[in-house]
Structure 1
Amino acid sequence: MTIAQKLQELNITLPPVATPAAAYVPFVRTGNLVFLSGHIARKEGKPWVGQLGRELSTEEGKAAARAIAIDLLGTLQAAVGDLEKVRRIVKVMSLVNSTPDFTEQHLVTNGASELFGQVFGDKGAHARSAFGVAQIPLGACVEIELVAEVD
């Protein structure tokens, strides 16, 4: 099954690349690696705001991370032209806007990691970091960046 077929099976339509909100570019390719800038969680086109452990539950955070993964796939497709060129998702870094006592950042980040596995199979297995932070730009609940190896 192709990546496009998997996305269709999952009812996922990839969005266009979002315009950067500051002085950076959405992705940089060097050799066979593509580095995607951090993408914040969005809900209904606006930043998905809130703090895990206060306004948002782990499951809501996981849904936000999954939504970010879809946005990241749209940017990755724009960067390489075709997701079939992805050899491997190498690294995911997740920042979770959370209270000092919230300790489930890894479970929130699973929302993205699980989707990459569904879409890419074994090529979606990646190294990962998940951090709890005091704040994310625009008050977003989660921000994720990604590194991929491509043909």
Structure 2
Amino acid sequence: MLKRYLFVLPMLLLISPGQADDVLDELSARSHVPVGELEDILADCETTQMAMNLCAFYDFVEADMNLEKIVQDNAEGMSKTETKAHLDEIAAWRSEAEGECNAAADEEAEGGSMRPMVYSYCMQEKLDQRATEEVEG
């Protein structure tokens, strides 16, 4: 768990309070859990498995939104044809990443309450890696 915080801490320093609110709003929309309830749950990620799952999902959503922003920013310098090709490439990459993370989650925690957490951490890692690749070009 410490490894997660050492990785996430530098990323949090780059996030403004408004961006954190955006992530929370998006997490609420995707999880169907009200923002106020999420704030309470996210305040202590180690109390229950549900809290661990939602904290991992928060990190996943944050990484997903970060990649989306980078892709949008990169598209500004592309032609329509290049943009479409790049978005198609991202969609294919995402489908492959989701498949790999589903397989990893099934292997590690199939049918168990930890499965969503394992999937979310896997996706967060893949999204962060892809975001780095997008930035580096």
TM-score scaled by length of structure 2: 0.33
Is the helix fraction higher in 1 or 2?
2
Greater relative contact order (Cα < 8 A, sep 6+): 1
Q: Which has the larger radius of gyration?
A: 2
Which has the larger share of strand?
Answer: 1
TM-score by length of 1: 0.31
